[in-house]
Amino acid sequence: MWLKFSKMHGIGNDFVVVDLITQSANIRPERVAELSDRNFGIGFDQLLVVEKPTRPDVDFQYRIFNADGSEVENCGNGARCFARFVYDQNLTGKRDIRVETASGIMELHLTDDRQVMVDMGKPELTPEKIPFIADGFATEYTIDVPDVGIINLGAVSMGNPHAVIRVDDVDTAPVETWGPAVESCKEFPNRVNVGFMQIVNPHHIRLRVFERGSGETLACGTGACAAVVSGQLRGWLNQGVKVSLPGGDLFIDWDGEGAVKMTGPAERVFEGKVNL
């Protein structure tokens, strides 16, 4: 069955977005993995699916599949592309959009300058809910990772689990080796996204993220949120932080208690049809 899609990106974190409200298809993990291939498929970090809501107080259901075909709970850059897609495709005329995800309700706002602000909800810091194996909450944990050794990290869930490691320089950070080792370490039973954070000043960080199921991406919205939360908890950052990722900048605001707010762009690259 041929399915219309849009290729989009949020500061380089790229997606294929499909509308399963006016179209129908069966999402098969093995087919997602084939299409994500950048040589033999379309090429993308994640596949985003727009579906009808299952409850009356939201506008859409939002599903996310990684490049390896696994379905995940949340994606901040994807959420901005989701909002731009449903508005530009005339699936809604609203600029304030509520969507249901596997991790709960997400609120999206399209600004007048074509940016998208996402209410990412409150960060989850309780270890068993991240999930992360630890004796109790701490702002920083020390773990022994096979083939890496002893490392210090922050553990945060933004609807999906993140480990945040501080480095002196993201350009020389061991993302390619530490990323997969930490992603699959026993302390994170559902695997984990791994962020490598360089503090520029209390209102600016640089960040690279190794995403579970996708590898390193040019940007990760939930990773940016988790890094800022962890940086504030560890006393390194103030409220309101610019996060510079390889693909561009996001602005993250957290008051230390409530929801994390993320603002950034979402761009359409091209449209096409694919046999899903």
Q: Catalytic: which of 75, 81, 185, 225?
A: 75
Is there a binding annotation on residue 66? Answer: yes
Is there a binding annotation on residue 101? Answer: no
Q: How far is it, in rounded angstroms, from Cα 161 to Cα 209? A: 12
Q: How far is it, in rounded angstroms, from Cα 170 to Cα 198? A: 6
Is there a binding annotation on residue 212? Answer: yes
Q: What residue has token string 């249901």?
A: 100
75 is catalytic: yes
Is there a binding annotation on residue 13? Answer: yes
Q: How far is it, in rounded angstroms, from Cα 164 to Cα 224? A: 10
Is there a binding annotation on residue 222? Answer: yes
Q: How far is it, in rounded angstroms, from Cα 256 to Cα 91? A: 35
Is there a binding annotation on residue 193? Answer: yes
185 is catalytic: no
Is there a binding annotation on residue 275? Answer: no
CA distances to 10, 141, 208 from 145, rounded to whole Å, are: 32, 12, 19
Q: Catalytic: which of 81, 185, 220, 225?
A: 220
Cβ within 8 Å of residue 169, ≥6 positions away: 198
Is there a binding annotation on residue 211? Answer: yes
- Which residue ranges are tagged as binding site? 13, 46, 66, 76-77, 160, 193, 211-212, 221-222
- Which residue ranges are tagged as binding site for substrate? 13, 46, 66, 76-77, 160, 193, 211-212, 221-222
Catalytic positions: 75, 220
